[in-house]
Amino acid sequence: MRRKIDLFVWKYLVPALRQDSFRYRIIQLMAMCYVSCFALPRQFLRHYFNGNGSAFWIDGAELIRDNPQLLALIRDETGQKQKGSIRLSQVALTDPKWKYSLGSSVLNFERRPDGFELRLKSWYQYQQETSRLTKHLHQWLAGRKNAQAFPVFSKPFYIGHEQMVQPFAWAEISKSAPFAYYLLV
């Protein structure tokens, strides 16, 4: 149900908003309440506002499971390479709990005989120079006394070759997250 609500928000409400809309505290509070409906983004926000800057650990396998289109992206990006990294954009994530938590991240991979060992790294922060729809909201949040950026990591996790060769239906993502589909394809 939450995915359908998120799809509605991104398809109809977000395109109607302008950056100036977020100058108003009521719009900022509504956006914060909406993001807080998802448990993982709420944990990220709490960690950010507690301000200790310590690392936040996530389950990378769950990230892949919740965003199955990432398997195709990983397969395409790794090719025959033995080792390397893949930059993941926030728009590549279709599950709202991950989309509102991670932002952009780096997925390091190393080929193993039975598949890939993967590790995710990210940095949860507000970047003032980045132009975004919610710029005013982010400035307001970053101005809090305790707010402090922090690193995000996943423990190493594995994806077997059999998982990598499973076909991914791009038609499925075009229905569930059309915005991401048009940016990925």
Of 8-17, 85-94, 120-129, minimum mean pLDDT range: 8-17
Let me know: does 154 contact 58? Beta carbons within 8 Å.
yes
> How many separate domains does the chain show?
1
Distance (Å, rounded) from C-alpha 110 to C-alpha 88?
Answer: 16
- Structure confidence at residue 18 as a pLDDT band (50, 70, 90): low
- Structure confidence at residue 134 as a pLDDT band (50, 70, 90): low
Classify strands 150-154 and 115-124 as parallel, antiparallel or unpaired.
Answer: antiparallel
Let me know: does 152 contact 104? Beta carbons within 8 Å.
no
Decide which of 102 and 154 is more confident. Answer: 154
What tens digit of pLDDT does each residue of 50-73 get? 887 899 999 999 999 888 888 888
Q: For residue 18, give both structure tokens.
A: 């302008």
Domain range enclosing 66: 2-184
What tens digit of pLDDT does each residue of 140-174 get? 666 667 778 899 999 999 998 787 766 555 545 55
The angle formed by the CA atoms of residues 156, 157 and 158, to the nearest 5 degrees, is: 135
Let me know: does 108 contact 81? Beta carbons within 8 Å.
no
What tens digit of pLDDT does each residue of 28-45 get? 777 777 777 778 888 887
Classify strands 83-88 and 56-58 as parallel, antiparallel or unpaired.
Answer: unpaired
Instruction: Name the pTM for this structure.
Output: 0.71
Distance (Å, rounded) from C-alpha 2 to C-alpha 58?
Answer: 21
What sign does the CA torsion over 61, 63, 65, 67 have?
A: negative
Q: For residue 91, give both structure tokens.
A: 């728009």
